[in-house]
Structure 1
């Protein structure tokens, strides 16, 4: 049948519906593997095999200790080539390249104008330089946020803004950290800057790395071995597993169900596993290009670049643990450059502003912003409630384990373990409640309907938490 019938109650319509239902119930494991998993893997291969091979070649060449300027230009050229061959929108490419190039102009001005201030080499001049760097970082932060929102809602079509959003977000994080970390006279040269922002390892999928971590590979290139091959292969294998769960297996094993909680869990797990897929692809790209966890950079047998920890998200002890392990590099960035800056205004204000700024980095899309801001408020309330219960009942149920526990009821007691299980269960419910908003169907039915289907249970739980705290 070529098209849906116009009259939904016709015999043709009923027959069509029954045919679809019959096909659905006859779907087998092999059908899903053949028609969904293999198709997903094939599409992925055509999308990433060239950038991946390019990173492998670059990583091997870097092992020989390339001259610094050659390293910078080579990784920049590789990153630029990946963008050109991957991005479908010419307008998007123009926006990315023009932004990356023009952004060096303020760096150039800061580097050479403030070098005169720094040349005095006295305490007063040093204080002035640090103050100017802080002001510059703040101005750049809000300027980049404004640019993200303008791209999302004013200057670009939605399809183009969605395509370039990830690339621009990682660039913004790099640029802000660059200005905040380095005194103006020590800002990178032209080749260093382009090598950093166009870095082939994270130009497409992230994650964010600091300029210091980027330069560590330049000055002390990692030596590739069998453990490197194993590390890259492990990251790719994990990404393939989570891709298949997100696209295929979640719907196959859970299916359409009248139980709203199960339906919500299916939608939320599809979103989360899709996120894990991206994270492990980004890890594979970074490892292939030669970068790994900075704390293990000089260990030849260690080949991991920690981006996410799915176990601590799927089996969470708290929402705070989910926030930390969802995207570790981004959490590090937000904590260092946003949260700590606003902490003097108060802990809640700092948490809320951090999640608001994170949502602005994501283009201030309504459903994404709702999830992020709700996550910030929920996690903060959860921390307060657990601290309150810990003090009231002298039980060790705080978010973080006590270093030298003085509670009467210890962490390893049965009562404490049962309490922690209850908190974990509530956290899983919150992940379902927030995760359903990221499903594509939210664009059609709206946020209110999604939460109505789940009886607003997370909001009721948080209201109870608020009453306990007060």
Structure 2
């Protein structure tokens, strides 16, 4: 049963402090605009177009540009050094220097925790390599996850943990993937300390992600000469990032203000959260492209693209399966490659359970995230088996995943098939609004993360409707299977 293309749920907004300030989430320069997001279920007058432009859009763009400019500059500097043919060790050293500087600029003294984690990861890799242990990935993974759990519960302040956990998540994913790649022979030998820390602190991924494999990072030493396609890709990705930031910060938070209807408010909160994620996704794509990665060369020309998320397939989904697959493409690849395939020998259900458990652990032991991930895992499983069964009964192309080579009697061009897929897509949007409603901008809770009472209160306001729908769907599937 091939269903683990939805084996992940991505980051939950683990963004640096300056990004929270920009979005009005921590009382920054634009805290006044947080009022538009802190409306509860009240009717409010939306801002005028002039107020929206002058008091939110322009300041947001200015701070967004200031936030990403130094990081893009650092990435382009690595690109230039690689272009002029400098020895690979120089590229690695520069990656360490500018990556370390970027982290220090954003997180200040919290960079020490990143250093501790990287030292632990390198030590575990070195020990398992010297002892010629055949399952480096498993040992390194367990060791790093235990360290994170211990640090979260016994050492870190909640506010510090919430602020830096996104960076730690990407770092742990890098370390575990490197260990598994050494096991599988993808990486032929253990990287030396300069190569290792160049990979760990690579500025294109160290702060905002995405995860990238060590083999992809090593392409930095052999990137093609940049051309007009590179400039266009850089510009378009930057425009997309800024557009998503504007929608999340200034537009999504102001729609439906005159309507006193809980589900419209839920959709608005979830929409703002999703576009904040798209902003980070495009920003991470921008830094990777600026570094010269994501190139595709053919006989005619070279193009650049480094997709992290596909917003169109999330906002207008065919299914929840499609949503979680396209929400965070690199993390989906990581979970499928290093968790699902590794645990599949114990059975599909165990592999699915381990995939969602790994995603939860990487994001931190937080009830809000655990509840969302567990719900999402159950929803996608129910949707998959239910639509698969309906597809078999009616020989119609209505499965959760698009057919690669459709052999159904009623194909995707059939009008009834189109209508049914639209209905399932609307159901997926309903579930997304419900699951995303607790990711609102509450300044008092956002700094330390949301607890169980916040999650249950938000879902209670919506009558736990999404869970009841999922249960009813599964009962119906059980009756027809």
Normalising by structure 2, we get a TM-score of 0.84
Moved more, 33-42 or 321-330: 33-42
Structure 2 residue matching 1:307: 3-state secondary structure: coil
Q: Is the 8 Å Cα contact of residues 321 and 401 (structure 2) preserved in structure 1?
A: no
Structure 2 residue matching 1:133: 3-state secondary structure: coil
1:460 aligns with 2:468: yes
Which residue does 2:417 correspond to in 1? Answer: 416
Structure 2 residue matching 1:257: 3-state secondary structure: coil
CA separation of 1:26 and 1:234: change in aligned 2, threshold 3 A: closer
Moved more, 242-251 or 220-229: 220-229
**CA distance in 2 between partners of 1:282 and 1:82 (Å):** 14
**CA distance in 2 between partners of 1:299 and 1:110 (Å):** 45
Equivalent residue for 1:74, pick from 81, 94, 102:
94
Count the aligned residue pairs.
427
CA separation of 1:446 and 1:109: change in aligned 2, threshold 3 A: closer
Which residue does 1:173 correspond to in 2? Answer: 173
In the TM superposition, what are the counterparts of 1:322-333 in structure 2 within 5 Å?
Answer: 322-333=323-334
CA separation of 1:63 and 1:256: change in aligned 2, threshold 3 A: farther
Q: Is the 8 Å Cα contact of residues 45 and 257 (structure 2) preserved in structure 1?
A: no
1:60 aligns with 2:80: yes
- 5+ long unaligned stretches in structure 1: 1-19, 115-131
In the TM superposition, what are the counterparts of 1:267-278 in structure 2 within 5 Å?
Answer: 267-278=269-280
Normalising by structure 1, we get a TM-score of 0.86
**CA distance in 1 between partners of 2:61 and 2:290 (Å):** 19
**What's the CA shift for 1:270?**
0.4
Which residue does 1:429 correspond to in 2? Answer: 430
In the TM superposition, what are the counterparts of 1:90-239 in structure 2 within 5 Å?
Answer: 90=109, 92-114=110-132, 132-134=133-135, 136-183=136-183, 186-218=189-221, 220-239=222-241
**CA distance in 2 between partners of 1:228 and 1:26 (Å):** 40
Which residue does 1:319 correspond to in 2? Answer: 320
In the TM superposition, what are the counterparts of 1:6-21 in structure 2 within 5 Å?
Answer: none
**CA distance in 1 between partners of 2:150 and 2:476 (Å):** 41
Which residue does 2:373 correspond to in 1? Answer: 372
**What's the CA shift for 1:307?**
0.3
Which residue does 1:123 correspond to in 2? Answer: none
Which residue does 1:354 correspond to in 2? Answer: 355
Structure 2 residue matching 1:182: 3-state secondary structure: helix
1:259 aligns with 2:268: no
Structure 1 residue matching 2:321: 3-state secondary structure: helix
In the TM superposition, what are the counterparts of 1:14-29 in structure 2 within 5 Å?
Answer: 25=45, 27-29=47-49
1:248 aligns with 2:261: no
**What's the CA shift for 1:296?**
5.7
Moved more, 424-433 or 444-453: 444-453
CA separation of 1:302 and 1:451: change in aligned 2, threshold 3 A: same
Q: Is the 8 Å Cα contact of residues 278 and 309 (structure 2) preserved in structure 1?
A: yes
**What's the CA shift for 1:300?**
4.6
Give the aligned CA root-mean-square deviation in angstroms: 2.2
**What's the CA shift for 1:265?**
0.5
Q: Is the 8 Å Cα contact of residues 256 and 263 (structure 1) preserved in structure 2?
A: no
Q: Is the 8 Å Cα contact of residues 348 and 380 (structure 1) preserved in structure 2?
A: no
